[in-house]
Structure 1
Amino acid sequence: MSEWLSREEALERLKVRPQTLYAYVSRGRIGMRPDRADPRRSQYRADDVAALATRRARGRSPSAIAESAIAWGEPSIATAISTVWHGRLVYRGRDAVALCEHATLEETAAVLWARPEPVSFEAQASSQLGRAPAFAQLATLAGQGRPSLGRSAASLCADAARAIGVLASAIGASPGSDPVHRRLARGWSVDDGGAEAIRRALVLLADHELNASTFAARVAASTGASPAACLLAGLATLSGPRHGGASEAVMQLADDAARHGADATIRRWLGHDRPLPGFGHPLYPEGDPRATALLAAIDDTDETLRSLETAAMAATGASANIDFALAVLTRSLGLPRDAPFHLFALGRSVGWAAHVVEQIVSGSIIRPRGRYEGLLP
């Protein structure tokens, strides 16, 4: 949970006047709430205060600002697509959790791509299914694709929709024009209730600011690469264990818990100084709302994972995140073991495409400088 500071504590840490503190609050840079012990007084979010204090202490030199933007730091690229605002995920001004209550991935794409109508992700059946065929088929499209420069947003979105359809088919979606969550449910032999949970997961995964895979897709787009090539860059980055591979680690954690018990498993992982996958998130100190929304749609929660969540909360105080929720979805519905990665890739491809178009329209190339620390001639 977030720590909250009194006004005096916030002023002391920031070394500013009260007027400046109130200005930070009004601009949304510091979260504020009534003091639960005395509603006449206010409290200020410690994480926001600490971030501002660090920036003030670091100064505003170009190198310091650039370095601070690399890891959970200051925003480095202007975007109108999504943000995390005081613990809420926002898609173009709309709360993603509220959107997932009713929207399909196709409707969510229309929101993120700023298109007037839902898009379609149709594709032919794939002869081979799985992660490797997904990479291979997307790579084939990338090799055949037209460069993005000078093209209209509508043309870029059409290419992206075709690539996403191919990706959906490669991970198991059946052919047809139905919403992709229903086609995926048919391919995975899941009932209507399971299809609704898959729909919700895809919407919640559609975008998440400038995460690593999205940044990779934008870098590719800034060079004028085809939409399929940009999506391939995002998919390659997503495959890393620190990104889209996190749910696979949760599945391993669940296997250990099934054999040894949840408490013993948590102690073993923490005792070996291994980060606990599936719990906590730097952008959601009070809990990942995506996980809460997805878990609420799963009726038959796996008992092993339920006990694992309780043990993890008791040991670390960290709430379940979206990676844990995807593992619960997979085990509860009996989905293929790599379903978390496939759902992540399919949902997030919609966000990659939105960022690709935005980057192309901006007309700029992403080319940071390195801070050389080696020998000179």
Structure 2
Amino acid sequence: MGAWISMDEACTRLGVRPQTVYAYVSRGKIEVMSDPADTRRSLYRAEDVATLARRKQAGRKHETLATNTLFGSEPSIPTAISTFVRERLYYRGQDAVALAGSATLEEAAHLLWDADRLADFSSSARVARPGRVVAFKTLAELAATGHSTHGRMTRVLHGECQSLVGQLANAFGAQPGQPPLHIRLAQGWGQPAPVAELLRTAMVLLADHELTSSAFAARIAASTGASLPACLLSGLTTLSGPLHGDASGRVKALFSELERQGEDEVIAHHLSTGLPLAGFGHHLYPEGDPRAKALLNLFEPPPVIARFIEKATRLTGLQPNIDVALAALVTHYGLPEDAAFGMFATARSVGLLAHSLEQLTVGQVIRPRGRYVGVAPGRE
């Protein structure tokens, strides 16, 4: 087997279409390089393709993947919080896109936390210099002094969850007060009511996404009896990675290139070098991220971004995901530099806390075992 193979050969070995190969590349599952003989073409690492082909042949399905490894398969944890059915996201059985049509983040929290009353994210605190530095410092201080979740009633934990989400929103610039959180954020960012509605929709769409890396991290912390702020901090530090919740930062960088070079030049460069376009394709939504579609349908992105999305989709077959929609929203309305991550982190804190609360009912520490592959221990 050669070290690098063509797109046609990769598609043949995997039994998929080119857009699926692009999706694997965007997820980091297949390494890509420019063909030295023809820079207009790309080559794909044969070993990566073979690994994916073996997994397909093994017939592993998402619901039955082995739970004793973290690499090469996916950890499987029972949850009633959210799931995917026919490429649609559901929160406790309710379609997330439909819910985002009118629900507030407070109502989404009420559903995801399975609480007995509507969440209240109001707060009187004011932050001088909002942003992620303040957000992480606030959570770190709370985690250092927080109480274990053990021996505490659920309604008390729900109250602490409300306070944490409210404080996180303040850290990202929400106006102090009692209105729904999306209105407080819009006021803090100097935006009118129509933009507040867009923030509401975006945050409900982002509230949870089943067992993500950040949800798993939060659940691990919760399984040890760590405090709720510690669980949330564990989840949000994981969320901050550019391959997870901060992916919109990569998209914004791409948008900056559009302003300097134009959409045709940017797309040509990426396609000729085999570089994946940040924010396009999602392994859970081969036919397109319904969250992105729902949000992009509510406003007109700047013309250059709209043209870029159309051409990138047409040439790659990959649809924009939620990170593109968030970056377009921030760019179009001139929101603060870190607004995309601020919205994502604040909204997803609801889901991370939901997973933490659910994990408490398991009563068992999550403790994977290592499979040692190092130098064999010497014999005495």
TM band (smaller chain): 0.7 to 0.9
Give 1:122 shift.
2.2
Ranges of 4+ aligned residues in structure 1 off by more than 4 Å: 50-53
Aligned length: 323
* In structure 1, C-alpha distance between the alignment counterparts of 2:111 and 2:55, rounded to whole Å: 31
1:330-361 Cα deviation digits (max 9, x unpaired): 11211012111111100100000100000011
Secondary structure at the aligned position of 2:59 is classed as: helix
* In structure 2, C-alpha distance between the alignment counterparts of 1:186 and 1:54, rounded to whole Å: 53
Contact 1:157/1:353 (8 A) holds in 2: no
* In structure 1, C-alpha distance between the alignment counterparts of 2:126 and 2:191, rounded to whole Å: 18
TM-score between both structures, scaled by the size of structure 2: 0.81
Contact 1:104/1:179 (8 A) holds in 2: yes
1:82-102 Cα deviation digits (max 9, x unpaired): 011110000000000010011
* In structure 2, C-alpha distance between the alignment counterparts of 1:106 and 1:56, rounded to whole Å: 37
Contact 1:83/1:90 (8 A) holds in 2: yes
Stretches of structure 2 that go unaligned for 5 or more consecutive residues are 1-14, 16-53
Q: Verify: 1:120 aligned to 2:124, yes or no.
A: no
* In structure 1, C-alpha distance between the alignment counterparts of 2:253 and 2:190, rounded to whole Å: 24
* In structure 2, C-alpha distance between the alignment counterparts of 1:52 and 1:319, rounded to whole Å: 23
Contact 1:107/1:117 (8 A) holds in 2: no
* In structure 2, C-alpha distance between the alignment counterparts of 1:287 and 1:66, rounded to whole Å: 31
1:117-142 Cα deviation digits (max 9, x unpaired): 21011221122211101100111111
Paired position in structure 2 for 1:183: 184
Give 1:52 shift.
7.0
* In structure 2, C-alpha distance between the alignment counterparts of 1:163 and 1:349, rounded to whole Å: 8
1:5-38 Cα deviation digits (max 9, x unpaired): xxxxxxxx9xxxxxxxxxxxxxxxxxxxxxxxxx
Q: Verify: 1:129 aligned to 2:139, yes or no.
A: no
* In structure 1, C-alpha distance between the alignment counterparts of 2:127 and 2:60, rounded to whole Å: 54
Paired position in structure 1 for 2:357: 357
TM-score between both structures, scaled by the size of structure 1: 0.81
Secondary structure at the aligned position of 1:89 is classed as: strand
Structure 1 pair 295/56, CA: closer, same or farther in 2 (3 Å)?
closer
Secondary structure at the aligned position of 2:79 is classed as: coil
* In structure 2, C-alpha distance between the alignment counterparts of 1:172 and 1:270, rounded to whole Å: 38
Contact 2:67/2:75 (8 A) holds in 1: no
Contact 1:291/1:324 (8 A) holds in 2: yes
Give 1:275 shift.
2.4
Aligned positions of 1:175-324 closer than 5 A? 175-298=176-299, 300-324=300-324
Give 1:309 shift.
0.4
What letter corresponds to residue 336 of structure 1 in structure 2?
P
What letter corresponds to residue 189 of structure 1 in structure 2?
G
Higher relative contact order (CA 8 A, sep 6+): 2
Structure 1 pair 56/341, CA: closer, same or farther in 2 (3 Å)?
closer
What letter corresponds to residue 319 of structure 1 in structure 2?
Q
Paired position in structure 1 for 2:59: 55
What letter corresponds to residue 54 of structure 1 in structure 2?
A
Structure 1 pair 320/170, CA: closer, same or farther in 2 (3 Å)?
same
Paired position in structure 1 for 2:327: 327
Contact 1:141/1:163 (8 A) holds in 2: no
Give 1:276 shift.
1.4
* In structure 2, C-alpha distance between the alignment counterparts of 1:117 and 1:207, rounded to whole Å: 19
Paired position in structure 2 for 1:159: 160
Contact 2:81/2:354 (8 A) holds in 1: yes
What letter corresponds to residue 86 of structure 2 in structure 1?
H
Paired position in structure 2 for 1:66: 68
Structure 1 pair 51/206, CA: closer, same or farther in 2 (3 Å)?
farther
1:224-247 Cα deviation digits (max 9, x unpaired): 111111111111111111112210
Give 1:179 shift.
0.4
Give 1:148 shift.
1.0
RMSD (Å), alpha carbons: 2.1
Give 1:75 shift.
5.7
